[in-house]
Amino acid sequence: MAGANTLEFTDANFEAEVLKSQQPVLVDFWADWCTPCKMLTPTIDALAGKYAGRVKVGKVDVTVQKQVSAQYQIMSIPTVLLFKNGQIVKAFRGFTNEATLATAIDAALG
């Protein structure tokens, strides 16, 4: 279950919501059966709240959104990608803490 400011990205909306976004976008590739993914969810939701209006933060369920997951060669989850101007500027594999993700977001905003 996503937080109030956490978006859901899909195969259908990924290009419009992420690649064509005027703001940086943090994308969490996850699955419901993945324990580290569930551990990361509160962090993703907190970042979505902290950066609301400045950065889009959302999730891609790899078990449902297979096209986007394959396009970005998501082989292990959680994987968090930070996009700016449609390009990946930072990638994180495995559980990543909030401070590390926030530092990357701040750099993308800078």
Please write the tens of the pLDDT for every residue from 21-33.
Answer: 999 999 999 999 9
Average pLDDT over residues 40-52: 97
Q: At what angle do helices 35-50 and 98-109 cross, to 10 degrees?
A: 40
C-alpha span between 37 and 79 (Å, rounded) = 9
**Could you give the domains of the chain?**
7-109 (3.40.30.10)
Q: So which residues are the catalytic ones?
A: 34, 37
Mean pLDDT (the chain, rounded):
96
Share of the chain above pLDDT 70, in %: 98
Q: Give residue 80's identity as a one-letter amino acid code.
A: V
